[in-house]
């Protein structure tokens, strides 16, 4: 029996939507998506899906990658395997950053980078309310729905506080645990089954 069959819950046959969080099934060993929590930023049935991995900090700082934010020694997270040479940002500053896109209540995507830089200089934007990502996660039209039907992902909701304040190494398990007993086997499965 394929080990993935042990984790089959039910076929997810609905369309995902912006603000949903994808949690990778526990046997997914992919470098990018193993134990990943991916916040969906946009989903269009005809064009595809765009999301950001929320729980994969990199061993580099923003100042190592760009010199635009001179005095902002912030961590950078892996957003996904697409456009890994581009920096994106997310924040909880709302309308203080013009042209931001609201994802869920209290959490915003992108916006005016010059204004963000001003807010950083003023001490308003900081590491607790602004996060930077290298790359993003993308699916072609129909691809994510097919992966959901194969139970590669569980879909859940999370608020801005949980996504920003839960330690990265605990976010996947925290969200799985809140999904209830149906997913208890997922939360108990070891990262490396061979060590069990």
| pLDDT of amino acid 193 | 52
Query: Which domains are delineated in the chain?
Result: 3-9+20-185 (3.40.1740.10)
Whole-number Å distance between alpha carbons of 80 and 27: 18
CA distance 131 to 35: 20
In the chain (196 residues long), the average pLDDT of successive 10-residue segments reads: 42 76 90 94 92 96 84 91 95 97 97 95 94 96 91 93 95 91 78 54
pTM over 0.85, yes/no:
yes
Residue 173 has a pLDDT of 93
**Contact in structure between 36 and 24 (CB atoms under 8 Å):** yes
Sequence-separated (6 or more) residues with CB below 8 Å from residue 158:
21, 37, 39, 104, 175
Distance of CA 67 to the CA centre of its chain: 25
């Amino acid at each position: 029996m394929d080990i993935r069959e042990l984790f089959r819950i039910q076929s997810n046959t609905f369309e995902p939507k912006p603000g949903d969080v994808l949690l990778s099934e526990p046997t997914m060993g992919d470098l990018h998506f193993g134990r990943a929590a991916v916040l969906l930023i946009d989903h269009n049935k005809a064009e595809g899906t765009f999301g950001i991995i929320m729980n994969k900090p990199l061993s580099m700082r923003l100042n190592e990658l760009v010199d635009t934010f001179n005095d902002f020694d912030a961590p950078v997270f892996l957003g996904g395997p697409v456009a890994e040479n581009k920096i994106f940002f997310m924040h909880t500053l709302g309308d203080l950053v013009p042209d931001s896109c609201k994802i869920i209540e209290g959490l915003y995507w992108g916006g005016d980078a010059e204004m963000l830089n001003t807010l950083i200089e003023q001490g308003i934007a900081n590491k607790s309310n602004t996060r930077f990502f290298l790359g993003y996660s993308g699916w072609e039209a129909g691809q994510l729905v097919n992966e959901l039907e194969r139970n590669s992902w569980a879909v859940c909701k999370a608020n801005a506080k949980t996504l920003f304040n839960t330690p990265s190494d605990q976010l996947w398990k925290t969200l799985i645990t809140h999904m209830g007993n149906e997913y208890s086997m997922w939360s108990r499965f070891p990262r490396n089954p061979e060590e069990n």
